[in-house]
Amino acid sequence: MSDALETAVYVTEDAAEAEAICDEVLTPNGIEAFVRDRTSHVFPVPAAQASAFVIVVSSAHAKDARGHLGEARESGVISKHGELVG
């Protein structure tokens, strides 16, 4: 891993979708990605923020990753329930 995986590109409440995005959309396009599990919190949070799986990539690949994710959403490969970040 040459660059730190620190730039958020997508957020979803669906763990399976998050993994599929990494495995089926980003990795095949040469973009290393990682899912950060933000489902547990130290302090209580509103129900709307209770679960989130955040997909992160290196800052050098963030623009390309967002482009691939946008195309995947438009073609129906991934749902439109998640949110592109950035």
1 lies in some domain = no
46 lies in some domain = yes
Locus of tokens 């993994």: 19
What's the total number of domains in the chain?
1
2 lies in some domain = no
Per-residue pLDDT, averaged over 1-29, amounts to 89
How does pLDDT run across 24-51, given as a tens digit for each residue?
A: 999 999 999 999 987 765 656 555 555 6
